[in-house]
Amino acid sequence: MIIPKESKLTEEQLDEVVAIVGEYGCRVQPIVGHHRTIYAVLGDERETIMVNRILGLDYVDRWDAIDTPFKLMDLKSEMSHHKVKIGNSIVGESPFIIAGHCTIDPKNPNMFIESAHAVKEAGANCIRGGVWKPRTMPYAFQGDDKSIKILMDAKSQTGLPVDTEVMDDHQLAIAVEAGVDVLQIGARNALNYSLLKQVGKATADKQIAVLLKRSMGMGPVNEFIAAAEYIAAGGNADVMLCPRGTSPTMDGYRNYPDESITPLLKEKTWAPVIVDPSHSVGRAKYVPSAAMAAMSYGADGVIIETHSNPKFGIGDDPKQSITPEVLKKLIQDINQIWTIRKQYSKELSPA
């Protein structure tokens, strides 16, 4: 990791650095922060002569060698001060709440717009709406390119940022072009390394955050952080980790609730953690408890499927969406938990 003396390298300086590390089979990935740009050297960056040549450049402040597989996402990396900014929020400074439909019904755009206004009124910071859906059955509704317009209408009417899942290059291009603020990578694609690389590349320097779900089968914490590293190494460090329940399921729930992984992630990575209790427990009646548990574990926020009239929803909405009224009460409770948690981190946490 190269830390320049000024806030960033000039083009000529960057060319020189790229040429030097290229001689040792490495490449440079600039990571643009709010205050300065740092330059990750990817490849075998332990080559002493290469490091010394870089340190010999008078515009380089220092070389940060990180003894970890996660050069960018590690808590000990130079990126640890990086903040993910979405709309008017800096994630981590107050609870970040994403809420809205599982699935946008293109036949009923008004229903999505109504829910979008209602979740804003309830206190959400970002609106979710599935334009494209990963469905177990190939004959089930797969989403519709046209729903992107409905999502963007919700953004312009409410002024809130919007989140949607993308599963391939086609959807990625449409979402980036439309101006989606948060790209969701779903549980089914969390290990699709080609897509993760593509997403990092397509969203670099675009002020688009990525919400990376934990895949159903993901065991070790490191596997989750490594998936995020792919996106950051592709060029976008605005990555948030989203535990959403794993398999095998806990009897009665949709998945095995995993909000308790939050402190383990936070010991290793600076990435914000936004828990998805909706897919974890899978039934509206259990969602508030799971959301509060997530916040107690130290999550930076939650993503909650919310619908003004769940029984008229499609996708997961009829069974697991809460209503905006429940969301409003839940956000108030989450704010209280946030205050309590802060005291724990200050007074009682050994870290």
Closer CB to ligand PEP, 43 or 134, in the complex: 134
Q: Provide, for the chain, the percentages of residues in helix, strand and coil under a 3-state DSSP scheme, each rounded to the nearest 5.
A: 40, 20, 40
Name the packing angle between helices 109-122 and 324-343 (round to 10°).
40
Q: At what angle do helices 169-178 and 147-158 cross, to 10 degrees?
A: 30
- Which residue in 53, 75, 131 sits closest to 270, CA to CA? 75
Per CB under 6 A, does 213 bind ligand PEP?
Answer: yes
Collapsing DSSP to helix, strand or coil, 138 comes out as coil
Q: Segment near ligand PEP (CB under 6 A), from 66-74, 107-115, 185-193, 293-301?
A: 185-193
Q: Burial, 110: exposed, middle or buried (Cβ in 10 Å; 0-12, 13-18, 19+)? A: exposed
Residue 266 as a binder of ligand PEP (CB under 6 A): the answer is no
Contacts (CB under 5 A) with Mn ion, residues 82-111: 102
Verify binding: residue 318, ligand PEP, rule CB under 6 A.
no
- Are 220 and 251 within 8 A, CB to CB? no
Give yes or no for residue 186 binding ligand PEP (CB under 6 A): yes
Binding part of the chain for ligand PEP, among 3-11, 172-180, 182-190, 219-227 by CB under 6 A, reads: 182-190
Q: Which does residue 254 touch among Mn ion, ligand PEP, none (CB within 5 to 8 A, set by kind)? A: none
Q: Which does 181 bind (CB under 5 to 8 A by kind): ligand PEP, Mn ion, none?
A: none
Counting residues that bind Mn ion (by CB under 5 A) gives 2
Choose the stretch contacting ligand PEP; rule: CB under 6 A; options: 111-119, 169-177, 184-192, 343-351. Answer: 184-192
What backbone phi and psi angles, to 5 degrees, belong to 34?
Answer: -70, -35
Q: In terms of Cα–Cα distance, which of 96, 129, 97 is closest to 112?
A: 129
Identify the CA nearest to 242 among candidates 252, 253, 228, 222. Answer: 228
- For 248, the token pair is 């095998």
Task: Name the segment binding Mn ion (CB under 5 A); options: 3-11, 54-62, 316-324, 335-343.
Answer: 316-324
> Cβ-closest residue to Mn ion?
102
* Smallest separation, CB 279 to Mn ion (Å): 6
Binding site for Mn ion (CB under 5 A): 102, 316
Binding site for ligand PEP (CB under 6 A): 102, 130, 134, 165, 186-188, 213, 244, 276, 279, 316
